[in-house]
Amino acid sequence: MLLGMAILVESEKKSSNWVVTISILVVFVVILAGVYYVFFQTPTLIEVVTPRPLQGLSGLAQVSGFKPEEVVNSAAFKSLRSYAEDIVAPTLGRDNPFKPL
């Protein structure tokens, strides 16, 4: 007597992993938001109040009529004396570094 065995082959049903799908979606949304804020969002300007000691310097930026040649040719500038000594550069190394010792 022959006993016949039936082999039943069922295709596996793919179950979608919701955690992976949601994680990929969240990462994609974060990347899109980052691209938007870096490239398309106009930055808000930060207003800085100038400290009181620096407020007087704005007038110096608007000075007109400054002539350096008048300063250099003035009697007060010519009466200045220099007390600095000449700097002598030291000799470093040998004259010919390839010459044998």
CA distance linking residue 78 with residue 72, whole number of Å = 7
The pTM is what? Answer: 0.33
Query: How many CB atoms within 10 Å of residue 80?
Result: 7
Query: Helices (DSSP H) in 1-101: which residue ranges?
Result: 18-35, 52-55, 58-61, 68-72, 75-78
Q: Using an 8 Å Cβ cutoff, are 73 and 79 in contact?
A: no
Q: How many helices (H) and strands (E) does the chain have?
A: 5, 0
What are the pLDDT digits (tens) for 39-87? 988 878 888 787 887 777 777 777 777 888 999 999 999 999 999 998 8
The candidate with the shortest Cα–Cα distance to 38, out of 28, 26, 30, 50, is 30
